[in-house]
Homo-oligomer: A and B are copies of this chain.
């Protein structure tokens, strides 16, 4: 079974939703057969690459006072701590395209989960900015990746750029307008940082209905079974 999770590192509800999903997954009897994949979603593809503190950004965006923006952020922090997640406050925000490219690189090296955790921790749990120059290479190394290779990926703006865009196109095709967005075997969706119980129900439902839909066979001949194949009774040449 495969769970794809669209999220953005700038998204606090993704950080929180991930913890809620993982709480459900830990208790799911078939967790050994669940593969979790990160998918890219940029909340603001046009955000500048220079990091800016979040509170004034929120205040400007919603026409709030700084105090109101701080209260909003405090409410999110409270939800995070309710999940046992550290939340430092005073975070900043910037363009996350490079983070998503690096997550695809990490996926190729079997370190996507580790890098995702490191990125969330850097952005939400640490005082220091996750967007400091050189910080992403440090985090890649912490996640078990080769620092030089990670730096080369970051230096080449085309590296994994198509993979990020393809994830975003898929999210859009599935009707996702916000994140986190969880998709189970491309059949069931969970939108937002729902309670762990909801994720548990979705896992259960996906598991119970996991017998794949009938496949359409492509190939020559009726049923497409005339390609040479090996079966329990041996290997045969196509019967034409």
Which residues of A come within 8 Å of B, CB atoms? 8, 10-14, 16-17, 32-33, 43-44, 58, 61-62, 72, 75-76, 79, 107-111, 162-163, 166, 170, 173-175, 177-181, 183, 185-195, 198, 201-202, 205, 210-220, 223-232, 234-235, 237-238
Contacts and interface: CB of A to CB of B under 8 A. Distances in A.
Given A8-B230, A193-B227, A186 B185 contact: yes
Contacts of A193: 227-229
19 contacts: A12-B230, A12-B235, A13-B227, A14-B230, A16-B228, A109-B110, A175-B215, A177-B231, A186-B186, A189-B215, A189-B216, A189-B217, A190-B219, A190-B224, A190-B227, A191-B229, A192-B238, A193-B228, A198-B224
Nearest to A226: B192
A interface SS class: mixed
The 10 nearest A-B residue pairs measured at CB: A192-B227, A178-B231, A194-B227, A189-B215, A192-B229, A110-B110, A178-B229, A202-B218, A11-B230, A109-B110
